[in-house]
């Protein structure tokens, strides 16, 4: 009844083919079969957002998507962000603004923030709070995460940005 199915999709720009049972969740395919362990499992109940990936231009929680639903889709995970040794503006922003502590929520935060900035390139703090509400962080409080996203937004709009963090300013990139 539940024979394995071949599924092909694009993962961070490369085509991947996997053989999965229909019941396999995307998060498990990514982590266990494709060695992409950036998307994390925080709750498994669709609440925390640690497993967020970008699927065909939408942020989704990969613990609540079947891999078979991803046939012919484009999937972007945190592994696809840095290019040629250069951090993505969001990764730099999270570092510069101290937007993380343990880092567990960070891949999901960045992946979600990426889509948010595609849709709203210049978000207000209120908009960031509203559109990032599907991602929970147990460490930082959200203030520095918001600053990190604003940092990246400015950088992506071509502005010169500096950290607003009193200690980070001392540390060069």
Output 49 or 93, the one with its CB closest to ligand FAD: 49
Output 46 or 118, the one with its CB closest to ligand FAD: 46
Site string for ligand FES, 132-171 (x = CB under 6 A): -----xxxx-------------------------------
15 binds, among ligand FAD, ligand FES, other proteins, none (CB under 5 to 8 A by kind): none
- Helix (H) / strand (E) element for 20: namely strand 14-20
CA-nearest of 72, 52, 70 to 62 is: 52
Cα separation of 158 and 6, whole Å? 42
Q: Is 138 in the site for other proteins (CB under 8 A)?
A: no
Q: Is 33 in the site for other proteins (CB under 8 A)?
A: no
- Helix (H) / strand (E) element for 76: namely strand 74-76
Residue tagged 């937004």 (tokens) = 153
Supply the DSSP symbol for 98. Answer: T
- The single residue among 8, 46, 86, 124 that binds ligand FAD, judged by CB under 6 A, is 46
Cα separation of 95 and 89, whole Å? 10
User: What are the residues binding ligand FAD (CB under 6 A)?
Assistant: 46-47
Binding site for ligand FES (CB under 6 A): 41-44, 46-51, 61, 63, 100-106, 137-140
């Amino acid at each position: 009844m539940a024979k394995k199915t071949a599924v092909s999709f694009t993962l961070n720009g490369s085509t991947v083919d996997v053989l999965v049972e229909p019941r396999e969740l995307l998060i498990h395919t990514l982590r266990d079969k494709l060695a992409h362990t950036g998307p994390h499992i925080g709750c498994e109940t669709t609440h925390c957002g640690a497993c967020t990936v970008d699927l065909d231009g939408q942020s989704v929680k990969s613990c609540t998507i079947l891999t078979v639903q991803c046939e012919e889709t484009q999937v972007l995970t945190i592994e696809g962000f840095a290019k040629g040794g250069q951090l993505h503006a969001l990764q730099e922003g999270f570092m510069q603004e101290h937007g993380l502590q343990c880092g567990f929520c960070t891949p999901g935060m960045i992946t979600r923030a990426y889509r948010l900035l595609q849709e709203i390139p210049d978000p207000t703090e209120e908009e960031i709070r509203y559109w990032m509400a599907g991602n929970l962080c147990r460490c930082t409080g959200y203030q520095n995460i918001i600053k990190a996203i604003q940092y990246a937004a400015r950088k992506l709009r071509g502005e010169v940005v500096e950290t607003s963090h009193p200690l980070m300013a001392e540390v060069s990139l």
